[in-house]
Chains A and B, each alone.
Chain A
Amino acid sequence: GEDVEQSLFLSVREGDSSVINCTYTDSSSTYLYWYKQEPGAGLQLLTYIFSNMDMKQDQRLTVLLNKKDKHLSLRIADTQTGDSAIYFCAESPDNYGQNFVFGPGTRLSVLP
């Protein structure tokens, strides 16, 4: 079956860049998503990328997709303490929100 993997923890210093990585196995994945979950809250959709793109940038966030290696990354520039959260990668064969497969989440800790 489909599987999405992420490293569980990442620590960075405030002001540095963070890179959160994700790998997936389903070759029919067409849309790939990044979600952010702050403590005690639900998941917030940050961005998504269509599989015919290899990069998408949105302010401090840059998503890179290597479809050949089935590898997705989220880069956060100038990381702030407010970026401390769990980041989930997810994949889907369509953009209707169904048939989602989520990764286990990466807990990002931003150190002062």
Chain B
Amino acid sequence: ETGVTQTPRHLVMGMTNKKSLKCEQHLGHNAMYWYKQSAKKPLELMFVYNFKEQTENNSVPSRFSPECPNSSHLFLHLHTLQPEDSALYLCASSHQGGQYFGPGTRLTVT
């Protein structure tokens, strides 16, 4: 248990669906991250939030839309995804001592 939780753990969605991934951290950290992990690229940083402000967006397609309402919660809103978006989506948070990861959401786009 790292103090970072993610829901749902598994998600199957069609290309026309809209869904959201949720991340919550109970560590009092001020920075939160979304990563994509797939067989083709082990760890891709998608978004970084620092004190609720987005500080990095690594050329992520607009079909992925992050939201950070407060320092403890991070969402990733998904719409009109493609099959190649199927992957493990990992959330992490940090303050000092490195990044702490959640268990991930396994996303399958059909």
- A interface residue numbers (CB < 8 A to B): 31, 33, 35, 40-45, 48, 86, 88, 90, 92, 95-98, 100, 102, 104-105
Contacts and interface: CB of A to CB of B under 8 A. Distances in A.
Contacts of B103: 40-42
Given A40-B106, A48-B97, A97-B97, 14 more contacts: A35-B101, A42-B90, A42-B101, A42-B102, A90-B99, A95-B96, A96-B94, A97-B94, A97-B98, A97-B99, A97-B100, A98-B48, A98-B50, A102-B42
B15 interface: no
A44 B99 CA distance: 9
A83 B22 CA distance: 29
Nearest to B96: A95
Which of B4, B97, B102 neighbours the largest number of chain A CB atoms within 10 Å of its CB? B97
B19 interface: no
Nearest to A103: B42
Contact of B95 (A88, A97, A100): A97
B31 A96 contact: yes
Given A97-B94, A98-B31, A44 B50 contact: no
A40 B42 CA distance: 13
Interface of B: 2, 4, 6, 29, 31, 42-43, 45, 48, 50, 90, 92-104, 106
Contacts, number: 66
Contacts of B96: 95-97
A45 B99 contact: yes
B43 A88 contact: yes
Which of A35, A98, A102 neighbours the largest number of chain B CB atoms within 10 Å of its CB? A98
Which of A33, A43, A90 neighbours the largest number of chain B CB atoms within 10 Å of its CB? A43
A42 B33 CA distance: 13
Contacts of A45: 2, 97-101
